[in-house]
Amino acid sequence: FDKTPNVYIIISDMFANNEYISRLYPNKKNDIEEFLLDKKFLVKKNNLSNYGNTTLSIMSILNGAYFDDDFFFKNKKTLPFFSTIIKSFNQTDKVFKSNEYETNYIFCWGDYDIKEKYCFNEKSISYLDNLDIKFINAVMHHTFLRNYFNKVTKRNKSEKRQYLDNYHDILKFKKNKPQFNYLHLYFPHPPYIFNEDCTFRKIPDEQLVVNNKLIPKKSDRVEGYYKNLSCSSMVVKKIINHILINDPSSFLILTADHGPHLMEKTKDIDFSYFNVMDMHSTVMAVKFDKNCNSTFDFKDLSHVNLFRILMNCLSKEKNSILPNKIFYEDVNYDSIRPRKLSPKEIQVLRAK
């Protein structure tokens, strides 16, 4: 690399953009985009993820690539979550380490807490064992859910372990070596255990799930999502403020992996812009330096181009920019191939 600022990529799982929020909650507001603009981020409004599920979306971000239909279909049908992105994390890790970066990854998949298989230590989950990289004290999820179980359900009241209440406590602002930090924050993804102020709300046991499909009432999904979203905004703002105070010259990226998935998926569902947003609406914001901002066209900012743009900023080697495509999984998205939508098709759909 020609320059080595500290880099932070924050994925807030299922965090929708303001267009979706204003349509679904016309009498409510989320000010995350105003906050980001005030902090001098470039904010892409109405952003849509290229893929509508975590596995392919994160793979696409880290690889800066699309996947053909056969790969997509095979992964939807046969491969477990996360095993397919191991190589993507390893590849990203190698690129940064080859340029003298220290790398930190904060990640843990949610249902491990519900099943009482907790992510406390580095590589504590079996499917992380094949990684060459270090996942630090995987606090993304267990901090909140363990506290929920202890304080609300009393399920683990005998547990004496201390919890990390703030994500920013684990960020390390070292000056001897540039840092690459990947933080995958689990919320506003279900379970919907928060009030808007981040206090816990008691929910029925049948709603203590990580899959929206298992919450039968749309009204419960919509209410729970907004409360989790409001709490997530507070956490994200706290992290970003902490980074900017301690590391003002760093490069920051904030986005989500996919949309909220709140709508029913039936064979009779309307193919509409709102349903596309439900699968793909994501917050998208970057904070680079002025030189970096001049190297790319803002309209090219998308999931698949995030790391291409970042690498172009850090290195003299220039990656080509890919056309933006949305792989919309309509109807039963476990058994069909995606519908590919171009920006022009999205624009026409949005105008209807």
- Most confident range (mean pLDDT) of 161-165, 187-191, 277-281 is 277-281
Burial of 245 by CB count in 10 Å (0-12 exposed, 13-18 middle, 19+ buried)?
exposed
What confidence tens digit (pLDDT) does each residue in 103-135 have? Answer: 877 765 544 444 444 444 444 443 444 444 444
Looking at residues 160-187, what average pLDDT do you find? 66
Convert the pLDDT of each residue in 142-169 to its tens digit: 445 555 656 666 655 444 443 334 455 5
Our measurement of the distance from residue 345's CA atom to the centroid of its chain's CA atoms, rounded to an integer in Å, reads 25
Q: Give pTM, 2 decimals.
A: 0.86
DSSP class of 83: G
Cα–Cα distance, 182 to 24 (Å, whole number)? 30
Q: At a CB cut-off of 8 Å and minimum separation 6, what does 324 contact?
A: 50, 300, 302, 304, 305, 342, 343
Q: How is the chain split among helix, strand and coil, in percent rounded to 5?
A: 40, 10, 45
pLDDT reading at 78 higher than 70: no
237 or 128: whose pLDDT is higher? 237
- The answer to whether 212 and 265 have CB atoms below 8 angstroms apart is no
Query: Worst-scoring range by mean pLDDT, 93-107, 164-178, 216-230?
Result: 164-178
State pLDDT tens for residues 47-75. Answer: 999 998 887 898 899 889 987 666 655 55
Q: Write the DSSP string, 163-204.
A: ----GGGG----SSS-EEEEEEE-TTSSS--B-TTS-B----
CA distance 144 to 151: 10
User: pLDDT exceeding 70 applies to what percent of the chain?
Assistant: 70
- Whole-number Å distance between alpha carbons of 119 and 110: 9
Gyration radius of the chain over CA positions:
19
Q: Say which residue, 93 or 307, is predicted with more confidence.
A: 307
167: which 2 tokens? 């994500």
Residue 279 CA to residue 326 CA, distance in Å, equals 10
Cβ atoms of 210 and 110 within 8 Å: the answer is yes
Higher-confidence position of 4 and 81: 4
